Amino acid sequence: MEEKKSEEQLSLEKDYASYVKKVTPCHNLILQMLKAFLTGGLICTLGQLLLDYAKNTLQMEKDMAGSFCSISLVLVSALLTGFGLYAPLVKFGGAGALVPITGFANSVAAPAIEYQKEGQVFGIGCKIFTIAGPVILYGIFTSFILGILYLFIL
Q: 129-137 long-range CB contacts below 8 Å, 24 or more apart?
A: 131/107, 132/104, 132/107, 132/108, 135/104
**Contact in structure between 130 and 107 (CB atoms under 8 Å):** no
Which pTM was predicted?
Answer: 0.69
Question: What does the pLDDT profile of the chain (154 residues) look like in tens digits?
Answer: 556 778 888 888 888 988 988 888 888 899 999 999 999 999 999 999 999 999 999 999 999 999 999 999 999 999 999 999 999 999 999 989 988 789 888 888 888 888 888 888 877 777 777 777 787 788 889 999 999 999 998 7
Residue 130 backbone phi and psi in degrees, to 5: -60, -35
Q: In the chain, where are the structural domains located?
A: 29-153
- The confidence score (pLDDT) of residue 133 equals 78
- The confidence score (pLDDT) of residue 2 equals 57
Type and span of the H or E element at 36? helix 29-52
- The confidence score (pLDDT) of residue 112 equals 82
Of 80, 70, 139, 71, nearest in space to 109 by CA? 80
Task: Give burial (CB, 10 Å; 0-12/13-18/19+) of 74.
Answer: middle
Residue 3 backbone phi and psi in degrees, to 5: -90, 140
- The confidence score (pLDDT) of residue 43 equals 95
